[in-house]
């Protein structure tokens, strides 16, 4: 498990491209036959990826967690963006198709991941946050996520939002998680941008063609920076940073947050004309 420490606003404003990428971009998260984890000190979120390509992959604990098992004091959100697969949490198994979500509550001692067909592997994106109590393990399909279509083709942001783990959906301690799918011809996500200093956020990009890229914008509204990201790359976004992107084609992205509350709409808008 890779450990990443937090960076201040002034420090980030002075970073060059390589330093920005080293601190905020997670590359190679999905590798066939591997489970990868990155621990960020922003709200102590763990960002991970599991891509079973044969034998099952097991979510083990790590020395840095000082825990007997990974979810001893944590909760976990899982969204599959690949082929069909199975997640076994404790003694129960859950089949997850593409764009289906599973929440696993604190205290679950074992979690394993398997692809139904290793030639079309599942691609499990993982987010984990500290938890102070236990909520039931629960699965949501994409239809149960109450999809809402917003935006407009005229502003290149016609998109559908699926909310899985939030105050009015799957219950959790502090984890909030869902995804957004952009329609063909639309490339902008989350613009105009917003802040929520009460929660950090992580983005995971998927459904992006191999030869296309997303320009992800971050930083303070008057000190914006960008990162060029590929399919299955993730972004760690500090609470003080905007988080928005524009792609060279349409794509999907998973958003996830942890922090002060689970209110999806609790944001502080940033007027587009004020950004620099």
Sequence ranges of the binding site for Zn(2+): 194, 196, 201, 243
Give 57's Cβ-side CA count (13 Å radius). Answer: 28
Write the CB contacts of 7 (distance below 8 Å, at least 6 apart in sequence). Answer: 15, 23, 238
Tell me if 79 sits within 8 A of 101, measured CB to CB.
Answer: yes
Binding-site residue ranges: 194, 196, 201, 243
Give 252's Cβ-side CA count (13 Å radius). Answer: 17
Would you give the DSSP letter of residue 170?
A: B
Nearest Cα to Cα of residue 238 among 200, 203, 275, 265 = 200
Tell me if 162 sits within 8 A of 180, measured CB to CB.
Answer: yes
Cα(185)–Cα(158) distance, integer angstroms:
8
Cα(232)–Cα(6) distance, integer angstroms:
22
């Amino acid at each position: 498990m890779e450990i990443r420490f937090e960076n201040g606003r002034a420090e980030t404003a002075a970073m060059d491209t390589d330093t920005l990428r080293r601190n905020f971009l997670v590359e190679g998260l999905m590798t066939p036959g591997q489970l990868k984890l990155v621990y960020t000190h922003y709200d102590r979120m763990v960002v991970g990826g599991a891509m079973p390509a044969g034998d099952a992959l097991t979510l083990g604990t790590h020395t840095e967690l000082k825990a007997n098992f990974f979810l001893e004091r944590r909760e976990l959100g899982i969204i599959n963006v690949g082929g069909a697969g199975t997640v076994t949490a404790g003694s129960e198994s859950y089949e997850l198709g593409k764009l289906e979500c599973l929440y696993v509550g604190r205290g679950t001692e074992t979690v394993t991941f398997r692809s139904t067909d290793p030639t079309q592997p599942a691609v499990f994106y993982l987010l984990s946050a500290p938890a102070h109590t236990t909520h039931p393990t629960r699965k949501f399909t994409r239809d149960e996520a109450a999809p809402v279509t917003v935006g407009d083709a005229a502003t290149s942001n016609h998109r559908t939002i699926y909310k899985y783990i939030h105050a009015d959906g799957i219950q959790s301690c502090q984890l909030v998680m869902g995804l957004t799918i952009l329609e063909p011809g639309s490339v902008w996500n989350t613009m105009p941008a917003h802040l929520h200093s009460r929660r950090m956020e992580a983005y995971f990009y998927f459904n992006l063609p191999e030869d296309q890229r997303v320009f992800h914008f971050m930083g303070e509204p008057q000190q914006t920076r960008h990162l060029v990201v590929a399919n299955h790359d993730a972004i760690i976004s500090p609470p003080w940073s905007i988080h928005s992107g524009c792609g060279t084609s349409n794509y999907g992205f998973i958003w996830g947050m942890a922090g002060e509350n689970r209110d999806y709409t609790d944001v502080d808008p940033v007027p587009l004309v004020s950004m620099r």
